[in-house]
Chains A and B, each alone.
Chain A
């Protein structure tokens, strides 16, 4: 068992009075590829917002290592936040900056590198995600898949300990999605980065996931946590099996009932 990197303890999430999920407890280990899965609208992106400091929990705690993330004062929270990188569902590149400037922004703010060193670093990060030579393009001038990859390059700019992805393969063709998965895996292997991925792509879930949590929109809580392959093999909750097999069941095909 790896050591815990992020611990979520009885977390309840709500927008105003509208509870999205309640009583989530799970642990994300160091170096794991952790999958947050569940049907669309069940609160996966919301969970991410709670983990990266954009939305305060209605109840419950989030710990980074031993540090209570939401109890800490703003300054300490920002310190934690500098150790994480986030790839947003939409890419969220700064549309008024070129790709190079996007990636250079955190480097310029938080490192002592000089201009030339930053430029080298930017080129290296862009090359890592297969965008060498696109330094001077604006986000609007490249395709959606390329924006995703540029967003990844920016998320990795400061070599974060934890990378968060919100539906990285949404809107990508299967080959690009696969390449992105491979990229995520190799990052995890070579840099030892902990990775948290929100996705409902079964192919990705089984290809890269080493641990997971399953959110259910109906009961508004988590149904299970653990390795997705194990969940598929061992779980006896029909909702999980249905999700992980695209509704076909474990071998015995269920008939639709009216």
Chain B
């Protein structure tokens, strides 16, 4: 049977004929094969035919009805819905018992009023309006989150926050030492690139020695904190969003709340603390590797001795530059933790929502990082630091 249906597709046909018995009565004759791959007149045409000359009573009659599967009851259900809407009396008593039973089953629980949600293609302006409303809602959530966070930080400062020391330890481990390899690789390479690009220009007027200044200043004030923050937002911020999002899907956050434990203190604070503790250290480490990268380029390709390079660096950067980088990294750590945790806590209750939360966390934190970096640089520039 299945074989025949696939080789001779055009052979399988189901027929419907609308017959008018009297002025008010009509019958719909179904015949042929009502199978999944059968060619059957679309139900809309039948409805349109009925529509063209309204009737009071419609009987469905089988005429040499051969095989049928779900195709038939689903077709009839459409017609039955139409009949209910137009108050037409529908008679299916002549149909096979199986069809009658399935139809009865499909209609046993009436559609919940207001349950159906239409996925309408909204017009352009409505889309614009919706995205603005979403933006406002997002900002509102951010403000609420920040408020709760500040209260929780207050609890921490008073020494009353509840979280597990073990959790903090695990997060520190994860955000710090486990991040070493990727931070090493990226910052070393960024140092190399910075040195190389600068050196090509400087070498034109024989000022290779100033590669050291360029690399040291650029790394310590800008690239070190920035690259570390971007790595951490992808590595740790996204992980936080996914962790909290999954806990939300699994009602774990509800469970905490009903236990009377604040999720803010229990879940967010240790994560944020871990980042705030670890990011400055990672940044210092990244600075060191960036400068090493620069040294490799100037020594290897531009004949600057290591001692010269070292001397140049000690002249170029001082404690103020390091403080600026340090300050930035603390700010970035807070921002990454906020973006990750907020998206996680506000996550919907599905697998795809967890993915969305992780994506949004990374996007948010990169935006926060770059914007705040620009602001800080601008302000420091104005203050001539």
Contacting pair B162 A84 (CB below 8 A)? no
Majority SS of interface residues in chain A? loop
> A52 to B258, Cβ gap below 8 A?
yes
Q: Which residues of A contact B90 (CB under 8 A)?
A: 258
The answer to whether A53 and B258 have CB atoms under 8 Å apart is yes
Q: Which residues of A, 80-127, contact B by the 8 Å Cβ criterion?
A: 81-82, 84, 86, 88-90, 92-95, 105-106, 109-110
Known contacts A218-B112, A256-B104, A258-B107: does B252 contact A86 (CB below 8 Å)?
no
Bound Cα distance from A146 to B103, whole angstroms:
40
A207 at the interface (CB under 8 A from B): no
Taken together as a complex, chains A and B put the C-alpha atoms of A256 and B107 apart, in Å, by: 10
A92 near B259: Cβ-Cβ < 8 Å:
no
CB contacts (< 8 Å) of A54 on chain B: these are: 254, 257-258
Centre residue among A89, A94, A218 by max chain B CB count within 10 A: A94
- A-contacting residues, B233-287, CB 8 Å: 246-247, 250-252, 254-255, 257-261
Instruction: Flag if B100 contacts A258 (CB, 8 Å).
Output: yes
Name the distance in Å between B204's Cβ and chain A's nearest Cβ: 57
Residue of A nearest to B256 (CB): A94
User: A57 at the A/B interface (Cβ < 8 Å)?
Assistant: no
CA of A218 to CA of B113, assembled, Å? 8
Select one of B92, B251, B259 contacting A105, CB under 8 A.
B259
Q: In the complex, which residues of chain B have a beta carbon less than 8 angstroms from the beta carbon of A110?
A: 260
- Provide the bound-state CA to CA distance between A123 and B92, in Å: 63
Given the interface contacts A81-B259, A82-B259, A106-B259, does A258 sit within 8 Å of B254 by beta carbon?
A: no
Which residue of the partner chain B has the closest CB to A94?
A: B252
Please name the residue on chain B nearest to A19 by beta carbon.
Answer: B114
Taking A81-B258, A92-B255 as contacts, is the C-beta distance between A109 and B162 under 8 angstroms? Answer: yes
| Proximity string of chain B (168-211) to chain A, C-beta cutoff 8 Å, 1 when within and 0 when not | 00000000000000000000000000000000000000000000
* Chain B minimum-CB-distance residue to A77: B260
B108: Cβ under 8 A from any A Cβ: yes
Q: How far, in angstroms, from A190 to B351 measured CA to CA in the complex?
A: 41
User: Residues of B contacting A79 with CB < 8 Å?
Assistant: 260
Interface centre among A18, A86, A258 (most CB of B within 10 A): A258
> In angstroms, how far is the closest chain B Cβ from the Cβ of A30?
20
Instruction: Pick the residue among A90, A105, A109, A154 that contacts B250 (CB under 8 A).
Output: A90
A27 CB to closest chain B CB (Å) equals 22
Residues of B within 8 A of A (CB): 90, 92, 100, 103-104, 107-108, 112-114, 162, 246-247, 250-252, 254-255, 257-261
A-B complex: 4 closest residue pairs judged by Cβ atoms: A92-B251, A92-B255, A78-B260, A82-B260
**Please, could you name 15 A-B residue pairs with CB atoms under 8 Å apart, sorted by A?**
A41-B112, A54-B258, A81-B258, A81-B259, A81-B260, A82-B260, A84-B258, A86-B255, A88-B255, A89-B251, A92-B252, A105-B259, A257-B104, A258-B90, A258-B107
Known A-B contacts: A88-B254, A92-B250. Give 10 more (CB < 8 A). Answer: A49-B254, A53-B257, A54-B258, A82-B259, A92-B252, A95-B246, A106-B261, A217-B112, A218-B112, A256-B108
A residues near B (Cβ < 8 Å) are 18, 41, 49, 52-54, 78-79, 81-82, 84, 86, 88-90, 92-95, 105-106, 109-110, 154, 217-218, 256-258
